[in-house]
Amino acid sequence: MHSSTLGWGLGVVVVLAWGIGDGRADDEYPFDRELPAIGWQREFDFGPGASSLFQNRAQAASKPTHRHVDWVDRENRDDAHPIGPNPFVAPDAVSIVPADPYREGPSFDPAYDPAYDPSQPGYVGPGPAHPPFLGGARVPCRPYDSSQILPAGLLYKSYLAGEKEPRFASAWMHDKNLGWRWESTLGGRIGLFRDGTVGAIKPDGWQLDIEGAAMPRLDMGNSEDLDAVDYRFGVPWTWRQGPLAFKAGYYHISSHVGDEFMIRNPTFVRRNYVRDSAIVGVSYDVTPDVRTYGEVAYAFKASDGAEPFEFQFGAEFSPARAIKRGDPFAAVNVHLREEFDFGGAVNLMAGWQWRSPTTDRLARVGLQYYHGKSLQYEFFDQNERLLGLGMWIDY
């Protein structure tokens, strides 16, 4: 029964992840919703697209597309620069029509835009305009500074191997003492307000987010009975400039035991493990694909075993490009808590990911290994060694 459940679960994971990763990048552009609000319009030209685009480290092949799109500022266009400021870079840059046989328009004028570097193939910036998503390369969304309600994307991403991060996730894990457990996370995180650049791809500025999640554990050896569930809620303030990002804010986490578990274990003493914490974190992108981070939290309210300080740090490899076949990923997170004399747990993940070219969200499938104090804070002082398969959808 449980092997069948696991098989069906993995099948659903693969189908969902593939569907998300196989999104129609040729038909989606990052400014489709933002720029019309300020009077920008799109112009369409039909014909084969470019066959390849270089992005820093590699060349990625692209299939031809039958749609070439440039954003056009109707109010600011003139005869010398007919399609107006380039929304992909900055307010004072100019988008130049690429010289190709399928379009008519002016060629690049280096005197007007000295920042253009012709030695960089596929250079996306104040020079020739390119279709944004050829071969998995994505254009940073940096058109201008603005204040936005419910902005697209996040400035400070959740940790891929963070065991208490808000996301959608399911993992089928085995411990030699516990047997099979189904660990899930049902939640998410969104931006409420941003002052900064527009779009989800490499945004800068500062942002206020809201997050929440329920994290249940089901006992696969007892008809998927609920053992316990942890709840998290938080309000982080985040800031990013280039590869450096900070966050500060508040989060609450509390533990709750399942009714079925209490029926099977009538002598179990329930804990009301609670942390209400102020949190500060820093993240740095060593390369576009490699990130390191660290954070500290102080619980000004702690009960039933929780003590004030906790620390997290880790690293992750997650390719920044967005291609349909996906890429490998790997991540490690170390979580230390004062109640265990600053011991705690290590969480390792590795597998395959698909990144959305428009929202920058991730769908992942892979292996997870967790060693340390229980993932469920209702059993916070018990040791666990869990190994299994999982799927994760990250904001």
Per-residue pLDDT tens for 78-88? 454 444 444 44
pLDDT for res 388: 98
Q: Which of 381, 6, 385, 380 lies closest to 164, judged by CA? A: 380
Cα angle at 167 between 253 and 33, to 5 degrees?
125
> How far, in Å, CA of 283 to CA of 272, rounded?
32
Distance CA 352, CA 272 (A): 37
**Residue 147 pLDDT grade (very low, low, confident, very high; cuts 50, 70, 90):** confident
pLDDT in the model for residue 8: 52
Do residues 298 and 309 touch, judged by C-beta distance below 8 A? yes
Q: What stretches of 48-92 show up as alpha helix (H) in DSSP?
A: none
Give residue 249's pLDDT.
98
Here the tokens at position 281 are 């974190």
Residue 348 pLDDT class (50, 70, 90 cuts): very high
Amino acid symbol at 394 = D
* Mean pLDDT value of segment 35-49: 44
- Nearby residues of 281 by Cβ (< 8 Å), 6 or more positions away: 156, 246, 247, 248, 293, 294, 295, 296, 312
| Half-sphere CA count of 223, side-chain side, radius 13 A | 3
Q: What's the pTM value of the predicted model, to 2 decimals?
A: 0.68
Range 377-389 average pLDDT: 96
Task: Flag the least confident range among 28-32, 197-201, 317-321, 356-360.
Answer: 28-32
pLDDT tens digits, residue range 290-317? Answer: 999 999 999 999 999 999 999 999 999 9
- How confident is the model at residue 60, as a pLDDT? 33
pLDDT of the residue at 14: 45
Q: Is the pLDDT of residue 59 over 80?
A: no
pLDDT at 119: 52
Cα separation, 260 vs 19, whole angstroms: 35
Pairing of strands 40-45, 225-241: unpaired
Contact predicate 286/318, CB 8 Å? no
Distance of CA 374 to the CA centre of its chain: 25
Question: What number is the average pLDDT over the span 102-127?
Answer: 41
Residue 50: per-residue pLDDT? 33
pLDDT band at 280 (very low <50, low <70, confident <90, very high): very high
So what's the pLDDT on residue 133? 37
The whole-angstrom separation of Cα 1 and Cα 221 is 10
Beta bridge partners of 185: 169
pLDDT exceeds 60 at position 9: no
Q: Is the pLDDT assigned to residue 49 strictly greater than 80? A: no
Q: Which of 29-33, 107-111, 133-137 has the highest mean pLDDT?
A: 29-33
Q: What are phi and psi of 55, to 5 degrees?
A: -135, 95
Q: Which residues, 6 or more positions from 333, have their beta carbon under 8 angstroms from its beta carbon?
A: 159, 160, 161, 162, 163, 312, 313, 314, 346, 347
Other beta carbons less than 10 A from residue 150's beta carbon: 9
Average pLDDT estimate for 226-236: 97
With cut-offs at 50, 70 and 90, classify the pLDDT of residue 172: very high
Chain-wide mean pLDDT for the chain? Answer: 76
Higher pLDDT, 236 or 128: 236
Report pLDDT for 146: 78
- pLDDT at 199 > cutoff 90: no
CA angle 334, 340, 341 (to 5 degrees): 95
Q: Which two tokens stand for residue 230?
A: 């942890």
Segment 342-361 mean pLDDT: 95
